[in-house]
Structure 1
Amino acid sequence: MAQNRVEYGRDDVEIAAREVAFKGFFRIETIRLRHRTFAGGWTGYFERELFERGEAVCVLLFDPQRDCVVLTEQFRIGALADEHSPWLLELVAGMVEPGESYADVAQRETAEEAGCTFNELLPICNYWVSPGGTSERVQLYCALIDSAGVEGVHGLAEEHEDIRLAKMSFGDAYAAVECGRINNAATIMALQWLHIHHSRLLQKK
């Protein structure tokens, strides 16, 4: 028999203090708070550090005419200990700036990082990256493109971007997921979504 479930929301969290602990390329906040418990009542006050990242948009570029994807390859400081390389195969991606919509960011980053435009933008999902410690949330898309001539090295020099494009068949890209060569969450999720919807999207040739 189903039990009654108590659903909690933002009003069930009480923030007593919030301050910036560090501000550099990123920002870290220290938050003192308490929240309601499932048993009733409240927790005691406690502190947590929050890695403040904001929202990002990640775009899987897919060419249904050629059945291929275009990924980016670039250095990632968080992957210094990666057993293969800190240069990861990823999606086109960028942070949401004030006043921008998700679609705006997808268009901007597709132009900056891949030097192309898309014909159609298909939403996949919106998810929290690692909510135990960071505020980052990602809107994931699949963008349908014509990949003819999409190649080379891109990115903004003032942002120290050095982004090489990697064009490969969808089969090879999915095999790279299965063998662990592609090992970052957004790219795995997008390619798994494409695997599910692959036959339908091929009809958009």
Structure 2
Amino acid sequence: MKQKFNRQDIELLEVKSIFNGFFTMDEYRFKHKLFKGGWSGEVKREVFERGDAVVVLPYDPIRDQVVLIEQIRIPVIRSGQTPWLLELVAGMIEPNEVAIDVAHRELLEESGLKAKQVNLISSYFSSPGGTSEKFDFFWAEVDASLAKGVHGLDEEDEDIQVHVMSREQAFTLVKDGIINNASTVIGLQWLELNYQNLQK
């Protein structure tokens, strides 16, 4: 499918910073072409500028096991049953870093594992209505028998518990709504569609 519009169909009037803390918030003023023809009026949107990140699915194709991590996510306290979430490994890409190097680093920091291989699967936007954040999604071949313990960086106040489970058990947690964060749902659904190829 060829989409009708691209970046040239936006008139960017102004981008200004309206908050600069641990994260930043920018205000965009713009006009854009309309599907029905012509141009929009001026549109104003606040954009949460978080930076880009990697997400890594640690999978052992020999044992057919997945390595998940569990940590506290305080924003979930408002609407989740528990703010401790089962997740895939993930981390922010700092300026001048290469995504695959970040994938290797975060896998070691958060799970204690070194990958036999790491492969880029896709890239996707986490919540494009409000944030510019883009995830590069990797799967990492690991030896799940080596996964155990509590990990994370003290200077980042991380407290990360490692869990090893079968691929089937992990996907059941998705189907039952226990795993309910987007990156982990996406990663485990991808694994369910592709695990047979990985096992070859």
After TM superposition, the score normalised by the length of structure 2 is 0.94
Q: Does the CA-based 8 Å contact 1:124-1:190 persist in structure 2? A: no
Give the structure 1 partner of residue 159 of structure 2.
Answer: 162
| Alpha carbons 1:114, 1:154 under 8 Å: kept | yes
**Quick one: distance in 2 between partners of 1:22 and 1:171?**
44
Alignment counterpart, residue 72 of structure 2, candidates 61, 75, 79: 75
Q: Tell me whether 1:105 sits opposite 2:102 in the alignment.
A: yes
Distance 1:59 1:178 in 2: 20
| Residue 46 of structure 1, CA deviation | 2.0
Per-residue deviation at 1:58? Answer: 0.2
Q: Deviations over 1:26-57 (max 9, x none)?
A: 11111111111122221111211000122110
CA distance change for structure 1 residues 97 and 83 in 2, over 3 Å: closer, same or farther? closer
Q: What TM-score comes out, normalization by structure 1 length? A: 0.92
CA contact (8 A) 2:113 2:146 kept: no
Pairwise CA distance, 1:148: 2.3
1:61–1:71 Cα contact (<8 Å) kept? yes
Q: Distance in 2 between matches of 1:105 and 1:150?
A: 19
Q: 1:86 aligns with which of 83, 86, 92?
A: 83
Contact between 1:6 and 1:38, CA under 8 Å: does it hold in 2? Answer: no
Structure 1 residue aligned with 2:145: 148
Kept after mapping to 2: 8 A contact 1:52/1:134: yes
Moved more, 20-29 or 78-87: 78-87
Structure 2, gaps ≥5 residues long: none
Q: Deviation of residue 190 (structure 1)?
A: 0.9
Task: Classify the secondary structure of the residue corresponding to 2:14.
Answer: strand
Task: Please name the residue that 1:42 is paired with.
Answer: 39
Question: What count of residue pairs does the alignment treat as equivalent?
Answer: 199
Q: Deviations over 1:64-93 (max 9, x none)?
A: 222111111001122113443100000100
Question: Where does the alignment leave 5 or more consecutive residues of structure 1 unmatched?
Answer: none
- Who is 1:130 aligned against? 127
Q: Which residue of 2 is the match for residue 186 of structure 1?
A: 183
What RMSD over aligned residues (CA atoms) do the two structures have, in Å?
1.4
